[in-house]
Amino acid sequence: MQETISESLIEDLPAGKLVDYQRLQNCTEMRLMHINWIFDINFEPTLRLIRERNYLDILSAMLPAHDRIQAFVHKARRRLWNHIPP
């Protein structure tokens, strides 16, 4: 059974809006929040470890293949690769 994702969460995360953790209803929504943390991390060694350990790929593999979710993951991936040199 696939967990549902709140429409407001799908809209708020890519827009950079703050999301109240109490609104999260399931593991899928929490995974989206974990991906969202990439935009809050500015410490280069931490971003490098996230990239080297493929955490974004691991989390995104557990998400539904929804167009807006995939676009959000792609945005996070661009941040990882553009924010720090390879």
pLDDT (mean) for 57-71: 94
**Domain segments of the chain: what residues?**
26-83
Nearest to 83 by CA among 53, 52, 54, 43: 43
Whether the predicted model's global pTM rises above the 0.75 cut:
yes
Distance of CA 18 to the CA centre of its chain: 13
Residue of 4, 34, 36 whose CA lies nearest to 18: 36
Instruction: List, for residues 22-58, the tens digit of each pLDDT value.
Output: 999 999 999 999 999 999 999 999 999 999 999 999 9
